[in-house]
């Protein structure tokens, strides 16, 4: 955005650019009348007239505005100013899970059980509201240095099929992120919440191991591995993870939906009674916490 009077969109003053994605930017903004901070997502210039991207923005608003859970990002408003469509959300100024993984996790390893449980809680709630997220991945969980979590990005969310829709609903459009897509999502099959269970398994696998369960020489090789190859056990790379927790991750990553826990609610119940680590990691001291929050 240019300077001067272009620093505002509607009642919101643009303060700081938070991130730039392939099709959109997220800004920290101030509502000038309310004097409250929010996050504002706007489409990049090349996509402001793109019907598909405008549709995703409107869909994210339609999904998110009805969600009210402390671990799911709040969405408040959709608007347009000077031909720029935007979405206004809760401002939660913390890195996503992928950023923490790339940093090496030392700062938050003590909080990983809490992070996993909160991440599961948010996704269980999302599914319980009748939605399949379809893009569960580390980038779509924001995480504080103390392990507090927010689930974000509902642009690809799809209504769960029920009744006759299960019989005659047809296939799903193939969308998602390749490193975390379930086999049925890759095939374009009709989906239910077990697709999110698989993607959640990939996500916490990466949180514990430092990389996704599969890597490929190219995108097709990666997708073939999701379809045909069993992931290495978590404890092959992280010996501090308990056998019981490794088994839970293994079942979430089952190729057949029928072999997985059949809901995130069941995953959450198991998480509450399954120890993640053999030896509890050391909590960061005050100096280390300051370095990772400063």
Structure tokens at 91: 């401002």
SS3 55: helix
Strand boundaries in 48-181, DSSP class E: 75-81, 84-89, 131-132, 141-143, 149-151, 158-159
Longest Cα pair distance anywhere in the chain, in angstroms?
Answer: 59
Q: How long a stretch of residues is the chain?
A: 294
Report, in this order, helix, strand and coil percent for the chain, each rounded to 5: 40, 20, 40
**Could you say which of 7, 81, 135, 259 is catalytic?**
135
Pairing of strands 36-43, 24-31: antiparallel
Answer whether 64's CB lies under 8 Å from 74's CB: yes
The CA–CA distances, whole Å, from 263 to 163, 195, 209, 272 equal 18, 9, 24, 15
Told to judge if 50 belongs to the known catalytic residues of this protein, a careful annotator would answer: no
Structure tokens at 191: 């989906």
SS3 262: coil
Q: Which residue has the tokens 């996500």?
A: 203
Nearest to 144 by CA among 92, 73, 90, 70: 92
Give me the active site residues, please.
135
């Amino acid at each position: 955005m240019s300077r001067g009077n272009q620093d505002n969109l509607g009642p919101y003053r643009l303060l700081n650019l938070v991130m730039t994605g392939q099709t959109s930017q997220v800004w920290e903004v101030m509502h000038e009348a309310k004097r409250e901070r929010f996050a504002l997502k706007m489409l990049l210039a090349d996509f402001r007239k793109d019907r598909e991207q405008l549709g995703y923005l409107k869909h994210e608003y339609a999904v998110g505005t009805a969600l009210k859970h402390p671990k799911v990002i709040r969405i408040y408003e959709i608007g347009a100013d000077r031909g720029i469509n935007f979405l206004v959300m809760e401002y939660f100024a913390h890195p996503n899970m992928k950023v923490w993984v790339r940093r090496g996790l030392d700062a938050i390893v003590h909080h990983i059980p809490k992070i996993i449980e909160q991440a599961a809680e948010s996704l269980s709630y999302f599914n319980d509201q009748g939605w399949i997220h379809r893009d569960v991945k580390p980038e779509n969980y924001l995480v504080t240095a103390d392990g507090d979590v927010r689930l974000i990005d509902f642009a690809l969310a799809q209504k769960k099929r029920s009744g006759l829709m299960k019989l005659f609903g047809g296939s799903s459009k193939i969308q998602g992120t390749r490193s975390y897509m379930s086999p049925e999502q890759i095939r374009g099959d009709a989906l239910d919440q077990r697709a999110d269970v698989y993607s959640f398994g990939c996500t916490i696998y990466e949180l514990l191991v430092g990389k996704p369960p599969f890597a490929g020489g190219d995108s097709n090789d990666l997708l073939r591995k999701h379809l045909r190859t069993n992931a290495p056990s978590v404890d092959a790379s992280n010996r501090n993870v308990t056998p019981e927790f490794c088994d839970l991750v293994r079942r979430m990553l089952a190729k057949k939906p029928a072999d997985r826990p059949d809901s995130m609610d069941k995953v959450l119940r198991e998480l509450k009674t399954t120890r993640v680590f053999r030896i509890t990691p050391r909590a960061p001291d005050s100096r280390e916490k300051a370095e990772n929050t400063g």
